[in-house]
A and B are shown apart, each in its own frame.
Chain A
């Protein structure tokens, strides 16, 4: 019988949750037991909420164990590996016995994430075993022409996953159309949306699939060189990419006369960003690759005509490239089976915020927001009420719970005023203040504006000031209209997508949560009880005088005798909420 396989999820999330220590412990056990099992590594499995994760594969099936610590790791080895007793209560998912998280797994369709969490991302052999590099071989061995490759991509209906949703095949066709002795392909791995981690997971979990997608693009447009522009905040992704590139070069997937194809020369390197959101915008990204300040440029000319070093350039997102090899291997029709009329295939979403199952999911386009949040996401944490979901990050907007039946495809999401974006979904509950969320995003875009366009630079600042005033309880009659007016002007007079979309978080929250703005301005109240300056803490009659609140108060604003009801001095109270959190008898009200 084969040895039992024990695999630890070592993506960034897993490592942060302590998977490195678990791996170390398993290594020790295995040494002590003389190599009882085969110990392996993989990357993000998607269940960030159950990290650290360990998967055991024995003769009967696979068993994914969650929330593993040293003790549980020992238990699993002792019971499952040694004595064939599955530790049922710790199984999150198993292809044999289901498990607690069966819904999370069964409702997904994995194309982009086909290898994530299923193989060692640092091994090219494992990638090849899972159909890796078969697509580029298929193209070269069967002499499939550049135009036919582009036609397959066009027919699949795939649209850019970086946010804009431009048809990928069309983009390739344009880039192919411009003649030049030098051409480039670029992978946008800047993942700017704060709260999204799809691209990171793909780069850490399956770097070769992105590289293969880029090689196919290079073949189709006759590119001579390529760059992966990765944010510096993702050191593990950069490391694994560089390793994968080295392996791919050794096997001649990159380099000169690739796989024996005369004249097909192409190589790639990784360029790290340096922390500027605007560098996700394609023209700014190109400026940054050239070693300059990342300022956007006017389009046209589009990169397809004059991009990197002024040469024709094709630029796509990580997830877009990660789809390509699958499409070439399985055919356009298989891909187009999934999705809606105008949005084909699957989409990866990063679920975060007040959702129970935060993690990574891949679903067919056309599924509803409610299905994602409740069927896959397990609903809202702590039994609270679902209020809104933020999609598209700083360029997107908040979709309210009432529109939970909206299906996810480019057009339906756009119709709400939000955008599909790159796939970040930050879920909010009744305790999240929507005015504060709008302020949060404006603060972000205002800081990240490169400063080139006056309206984007100064207009966002004025909007931010108004929003700050409102959340501090100093809002004025007419502020909402002022915000709307400024928003329209900024959208109209900004050069790049940053300014053109920066007002979206404000506009969507005004559209769906106008009453919250009005409550702040007119009644000086924050309905979500989140804006500090607008809440009052009061002690009610349930107080038994335990003195805990008086002890935790940093400003000594609470007084009272032991066993007597206490009192908060409102002038001294700084509204830090320490008493509220500390009270065990619900005797402090937040009003």
Chain B
């Protein structure tokens, strides 16, 4: 597909999403949630398409994307590993769990493995503090995670 065709396709997809929200600039956060749900991340071209559809400067969209930690401009892995670094998880040893994931997957927090399979990021509390430390892979939540178990968890997805 040529670059122009790709751009055209992005434009069409994004304008459909924006239309669901009546192209209302006040709904930008909801629009970006939905757009990120579709693409997995929000690269520059997509942000520009959103800005054009709702009729605001691209800088405004960029401002929102960079302000809120939920939005990312980097693609995530097929199985995004999110490690909770909230207070409860931290005092229960979440840092050791993070280090273990980093060393097993050979990438750092915020990065994606070369094969695109896993990415690691940290979260601030998903509200399952009673089961700290907590790790999420995709939508699945793992509670009471011990560093020794990390390898087995990764193997579930290999």
Whether B45 is near chain A, meaning CB under 8 Å from some CB there, is no
CA distance A353 to B89 in the complex (A): 7
A301 to chain B, nearest CB (A): 20
**Does A77 lie at the interface of the complex (its beta carbon under 8 Å from any beta carbon of B)?**
no
Contact with A along B129-158 (1 / 0, CB 8 A): 111101000010111000000000000000
1/0 contact string of A384-406 vs chain B (CB within 8 Å): 00000010010000000000000
Verify B130–A359 contact, CB threshold 8 A.
Answer: yes
In the complex, the answer to whether A195 meets B68 with C-beta atoms within 8 Å is no
Kindly identify, within residues 88 to 128 of chain B, every residue whose CB is under 8 Å from any CB belonging to chain A: 88-92, 99, 103, 123-128
Which residues of chain B come closer than 8 Å to A393, judged between CB atoms? Answer: 87
In contact, A13 and B124 (Cβ under 8 angstroms):
no
Q: Are A440 and B131 in contact (CB under 8 A)?
A: no
Whether the pair A16, B70 counts as a contact (CB closer than 8 A) is no
B33 touching A428, Cβ below 8 Å: no
Assess A272 versus B132: contact at CB under 8 Å? Given A16-B141, A194-B125, A292-B64: no
Q: How many Å lie between the Cα of A13 and that of B128 in the bound state?
A: 5
Verify if A179 is at the interface (C-beta below 8 Å from B). no
Binary contact readout A3-18 vs B (1 if CB under 8 angstroms, 0 otherwise): 0000000001101110
Distance in Å: Cβ of B63 to nearest Cβ of chain A: 6
- Contact A276/B67 with A353-B88, A426-B87, A437-B91 known, Cβ cut-off 8 Å: yes
Given A17-B131, A352-B132, answer yes or no on A275-B90 (Cβ-Cβ < 8 Å).
no
Residue from A16, A292, A353 whose CB has the most chain B CB atoms within 10 Å: A16
> Does A118 sit within 8 A of B, measured CB to CB?
no
Answer whether residue A174 sits at the interface, using C-beta atoms and an 8 A cutoff.
no
**CB under 8 Å from chain B, chain A span 202-236:** 232-235
Q: Are A13 and B29 in contact (CB-based, < 8 A)?
A: no
Docked CA distance A267–B45 (Å): 37
In the complex, whether A350 has a CB less than 8 A from a CB of chain B is: yes
A440 contacts B70, C-beta separation under 8 Å: no
**Chain A residue total in the interface (Cβ 8 A):** 54
Q: Known contacts A293-B64, A428-B91: does B126 contact A274 (CB below 8 Å)?
A: no
Of the residues B33, B63, B125, contact of A195 by C-beta under 8 Å: B125
Kindly report which residue of chain A lies nearest to residue B123, judged by CB atoms: A233
Q: Nearest-CB distance from A42 to chain B (Å)?
A: 16
A512: which B residues are within 8 A, CB to CB?
Answer: none
**Is B48 engaged at the interface, CB distance under 8 Å to the other chain?**
no
Q: Of the candidates B70, B90, B127, which one forms a contact with A12 in the assembled complex, judged by CB atoms under 8 Å apart?
A: B127
Does A424 touch B at the CB level, under 8 Å? Answer: yes
Using Cβ atoms and an 8 Å threshold, which residues of chain B touch A441?
87
A358 touching B130 in the complex, CB below 8 Å, given contacts A196-B125, A291-B26: yes
List residues of A (123-167) whose CB comes within 8 Å of B's CBs. Answer: none
CB of B110, distance to nearest CB on chain A (Å): 13
Known: A12-B126, A194-B124. A353 touches B92 (CB 8 A): yes
Select from chain B the residue with minimum beta-carbon distance to A451: B67
Q: Does A536 contact B (CB under 8 A)?
A: no
Chain B contacts of A277 at CB under 8 A?
Answer: 124
- Asked if A513 CB lies within 8 Å of chain B CBs, one says no
A288 proximal to B (CB < 8 A):
yes
Q: How far, in whole Å, are A3 and B71 apart by their CA atoms in the complex?
A: 49
In the complex, A184 has a CB within 8 A of chain B = no
Residues on A with beta carbons closer than 8 Å to the beta carbon of B26: 290-291
Q: A293-B63, A424-B87, A426-B91 are contacts. A197–B129 as well, Cβ < 8 Å?
A: yes
Most-contacted residue by chain B among A232, A273, A352, A432 (CB, 10 A): A352
| Residues from chain A with Cβ under 8 Å of B75 in the complex | none
B83 in contact (CB, < 8 A): no
CA distance A201 to B127 in the complex (A): 8
Task: Establish whether residues B69 and A274, one from each chain, have CB atoms under 8 Å apart when the complex forms.
Answer: yes
Quick check: A291 and B28 within 8 Å, CB to CB?
yes
| Most chain A CB neighbours (cut-off 10 Å) among B26, B69, B124 | B124
Interface residue B18 (Cβ < 8 Å from any Cβ of A): no
* Residue B25 interfacial (CB < 8 Å): yes
Specify the chain B residue showing the minimal Cβ separation from A358. B130
Whether A274 pairs with B29 at a CB distance below 8 angstroms is: yes
Given the interface pairs A272-B33, A393-B87, A426-B91, the reply to whether A13 lies near B68 with Cβ below 8 Å is no
Known A195-B86, A293-B63, A440-B87; judge A16-B128 contact (CB<8 A): yes
Chain B residues positioned under 8 Å from A360 (CB to CB): 130
Question: Is the beta-carbon distance between B131 and A13 smaller than 8 angstroms?
Answer: yes
Distance (Å) between the CB of B35 and the closest chain A CB? Answer: 12
| Given contact pairs A232-B33, A272-B29, A274-B32, A51 touches B87 in the complex (Cβ within 8 A) | no
A15 with B141, Cβ < 8 A, contacts A274-B68, A428-B91 known: yes
In the docked arrangement, what's the CA distance between A352 and B88, Å?
6
Cβ of B12 within 8 Å of any chain A Cβ, yes or no, is: no
A17 and B143 contacting across the interface, CB-CB below 8 Å: yes
What separation, in Å, do the CA atoms of A290 and B87 have in the docked complex?
30
- CB neighbours of B25 from chain A (8 A): 291
Interface residues of A in 232-283 (CB under 8 A from B): 232-235, 271-277
Residue in chain A with minimal CB distance to B91? A353
- The verdict on A305 contacting chain B, using a C-beta distance below 8 Å, is no
A288 CB contact (under 8 Å) in B29, B63, B124, B130? B29
Q: Known contacts being A274-B32, A290-B26, A291-B26, is A233 close to B87, with CB within 8 Å?
A: no
Quick one: closest A residue to B27, CB to CB? A291
**Which residues of the other chain, A, contact B71 by a CB distance below 8 angstroms?**
274-275
User: Are the C-beta atoms of A274 and B125 separated by less than 8 Å?
Assistant: no
CA A187 to CA B27, docked complex, whole Å: 18
> What are 25 of the A-B contact pairs (CB < 8 Å)?
A15-B141, A48-B129, A48-B131, A197-B127, A200-B127, A201-B127, A233-B126, A235-B139, A272-B33, A274-B32, A274-B33, A274-B69, A275-B68, A275-B71, A276-B69, A277-B124, A293-B64, A294-B67, A351-B130, A354-B92, A358-B131, A358-B132, A432-B91, A444-B124, A450-B67
Chain A to chain B: the 4 pairs with minimum beta-carbon distance, closest first: A48-B130, A194-B86, A195-B87, A274-B68
